[in-house]
Structure 1
Amino acid sequence: MKISLWLPLVLGLLAGSSAGAQTLSGTVTLYTSEVLPDVQVQIDGFRKLNPKVDVKVFRSGTGEVTAKLNAELAAGNVQADLLWVADPTYFDGLAKKTLLEPLNVRGVRAPSSALYGGGTYAEVRKLYNVIGVNTKVVSTLPKGFADLRKPEYRNKLAMPSPLFSGGALATAGTLSRTYGWAYFQSLAANGLRIEQSNPITTTKLIGGEYGAAILVDYSLRREAAKGAPIAVVYPREGAILVSTPIAVLRSSPNKAAAQAFVRYLYSAEGQANFSKLDYLPVVPGAPRPAGVPAAIFTLPSADAYIAQNKADISARFSALFNLK
């Protein structure tokens, strides 16, 4: 089911500069695939700082958000000031076309390792694709992605669709590059089901419709903390880092407020908010959420591979699982 919302919201922040604080006003529009209540937490922080900035939010899956922006770019009528979705390859394409504004991260501790595209888009927090297990449905925990091919998980597996979810595209690209398409063929033979999104898959995993699912770690930790029978498995082969950058569109008529939005996410308060929401902050020294391993071993990035083969990945996956 498509979730697509326009929410006029009041927020603001004081943009720091060497000359002092600048009062922000006007409208900023954020296009995002991020979980709306989580975005709201950050918005609430802004509202305390500058209530003169009106913010509109369009929220949907990464594929639908980027399709909307592509249509607006083609029509020469871009409505977004900020883009925040789980597809670094899309940002890279925008950066190469000089459609992104260099980020202004003066006065905040934005790690250089989190800045990409010549500083035009950036990671503000981290999340990983791991394996969630409903312990009431499956008694044996898998140790890694390879184990999901075993008989004990037959007809009990699920993951979101890479046609809708940028995080799922990272899964499809990373695992097909690591194991080849034979891996997903074996999962299909083992009864892997494809749901539209991470939230839908998580809900069905908690409800016992599935015993195991490849999902983002933060939502699994949240549900386990609420008492759901969920175990979080960080695969022995390595978790999949899901890049979810944010950028300011060069066409933005309110770059000052848009840039301030990004800076707030790097502030001590913004990073602490991420931790409270079970995301892993990127700023050194920021608090870590409970339940996160001290060190997370990850599979090598497949971003370049996905960028070169996105259409083929989508086509192969669609054919294998009869997706439309």
Structure 2
Amino acid sequence: MKKKFKIFTILAMLSCLLLALFTGCGNQATDDTKKKVEGPSGKLMIYTSIYPDIIQSVKPALKKAFPNLEIEWFQGGTEKVVTKLTGEIEANKIGADLLMVADPSYYLTLEDQYLLLKYDAPNRKDVESKDAEGYWTGVRISNMIIAYNTNKVKEEDAPKSFKDLLDPKWKDKIAMPNPLLSGTAFVTTAALSDAFGWDYFEKLKANGLKVEDGNSKVQNKLITGEYDVGIILEENILKMAAKGEPLKVVYPEDGVVVVPSPISIFKTSQNIEAAKAVENWWLSKEGQEAIVKGWMHSVRKDVTPPKGAPEFSTFSGRAFKVNWAKIANDNETIKETFRNKVMDN
């Protein structure tokens, strides 16, 4: 009887051992499997210039993709975010894990300061706008264009190019966002001054150019008819036109200012694995479809353009050639020159 009991015990132990081997060796396997199913957890802070309504619209998709991750946001215009980060960098207390702001040149500055984590996300292979080393990747394409109020301007009379804005018929009827506050406006200022010279902005000022705090201010005053035309983000106009507002986009013949806004991870992130997972999600087809719902163009070719917009390829070929390294180096000079030549003193 004792012999039979010993044999039974040995067989039971062997069964348990085999079961452990096939299920991944006990509790450790269960824990590892659970982690893979649940995905990253903890907290993640994103600093971004994406509009608040777009953040709200994308939250459900992010929650579905990362149910155990608490994602927090700091939202503001690019320059507001940069100002916050500048203070945090000086204090050696960076609060962001991920950065998503409009000005690609700022990422070059952060890279020079050795603050960005090198990460070749799996979905990065499907994105054309990226640096060779892997420190930043384009996550959305914003375009600075010309827009007009269709109640005040007929299509045949609308400006066809940035240089058309110098026509006296637009005297005191033009506006643009402030490049001291808006990243896309800053890039536009740098691109146009590089292409046409600062003389272009002096002539715009002489023609009554008004400088508003941001793209949304220009948008709202175009809607009310305070301005006939404006230099503004395409996404603002597409969104409001879809709501029935009397606005229309012009893709300037002399060039569109294309801003491939990047995403990056800070080396100082307290949740690097979560940051990597979220960055990779933004670069996925699902993440890029969320971008398009926010009226911006995707950095992937397999995602359709936002409603009301043509394919990116129809105007990207005539985009201004932007020297991002030069903009990064001349950042303060560009802003100071604009302040002196265009802003009211």
TM-score of the alignment, normalized to the shorter chain, above 0.5: yes
Q: 2:147 aligns with which of 128, 132, 149?
A: 132
Partner Cα distance (1:291, 1:302) in 2: 29
Q: After TM superposition, give the deviation of residue 277 of structure 1 in Å.
A: 2.3
Q: After TM superposition, give the deviation of residue 21 of structure 1 in Å.
A: 4.9
Equivalent AA in structure 1 for residue 53 of structure 2:
P
Matches within 5 A, 1:122-271: 122-139=137-154, 140-271=157-288
Q: Deviation per CA, 1:67-125: give whole Å up to 9, x if none.
A: 1111111111111111111121111111122211112412x254352222611111112
CA contact (8 A) 1:173 1:305 kept: no
Partner of 1:319: 340
Q: Deviation per CA, 1:165-216: give whole Å up to 9, x if none.
A: 0000011101101110110000000000000111111111111111101011
Per mean C-alpha deviation after superposition, the further-off stretch among 274-283 and 126-135 is 274-283
Matches within 5 A, 1:27-66: 27-66=43-82
Q: After TM superposition, give the deviation of residue 217 of structure 1 in Å.
A: 0.7
Which entry has the higher C-alpha Rg, 1 or 2? 2
Partner Cα distance (2:181, 2:125) in 1: 29
In structure 1, stretches of 5+ residues that fail to align are 1-18
Q: Deviation per CA, 1:289-311: give whole Å up to 9, x if none.
A: 23323311311123233223221
Point out the structure with the larger helix share: 2
Partner of 1:70: 86
CA contact (8 A) 2:202 2:342 kept: no
CA contact (8 A) 2:100 2:261 kept: yes
Partner Cα distance (1:166, 1:245) in 2: 12
CA contact (8 A) 2:108 2:325 kept: no
CA contact (8 A) 1:170 1:302 kept: no
Q: In the comparison of the two structures, how many residue pairs are matched?
A: 306
Cα RMSD after superposing both structures:
1.9
Structure 2 residue 300 is the aligned partner of structure 1 residue 283: yes
Partner of 1:5: none
* CA shift in 2, pair 1:117/1:209, >3 Å: farther
Q: After TM superposition, give the deviation of residue 50 of structure 1 in Å.
A: 2.5
Point out the structure with the larger strand share: 1
SS at 1:113 equivalent? coil
Equivalent AA in structure 2 for residue 161 of structure 1:
N
Q: Deviation per CA, 1:3-44: give whole Å up to 9, x if none.
A: xxxxxxxxxxxxxxxx95562111111111111121222222
CA contact (8 A) 2:104 2:259 kept: no
Give the TM-score normalised by structure 1.
Answer: 0.89
Partner Cα distance (2:48, 2:211) in 1: 22
**Identical aligned residues as a percent:** 34
Q: 1:299 aligns with which of 320, 323, 326?
A: 320
Matches within 5 A, 1:90-129: 90-106=106-122, 108=123, 110-111=125-126, 113-116=128-131, 118-129=133-144
* CA shift in 2, pair 1:112/1:47, >3 Å: closer
Q: 1:310 aligns with which of 331, 335, 340?
A: 331
Per mean C-alpha deviation after superposition, the further-off stretch among 44-53 and 141-150 is 44-53
In structure 2, stretches of 5+ residues that fail to align are 1-34
Q: After TM superposition, give the deviation of residue 152 of structure 1 in Å.
A: 1.2
Partner of 2:24: none
Q: After TM superposition, give the deviation of residue 273 of structure 1 in Å.
A: 1.7
Partner Cα distance (1:153, 1:138) in 2: 11
Partner Cα distance (1:143, 1:62) in 2: 28
Q: After TM superposition, give the deviation of residue 321 of structure 1 in Å.
A: 2.9
Partner of 1:4: none
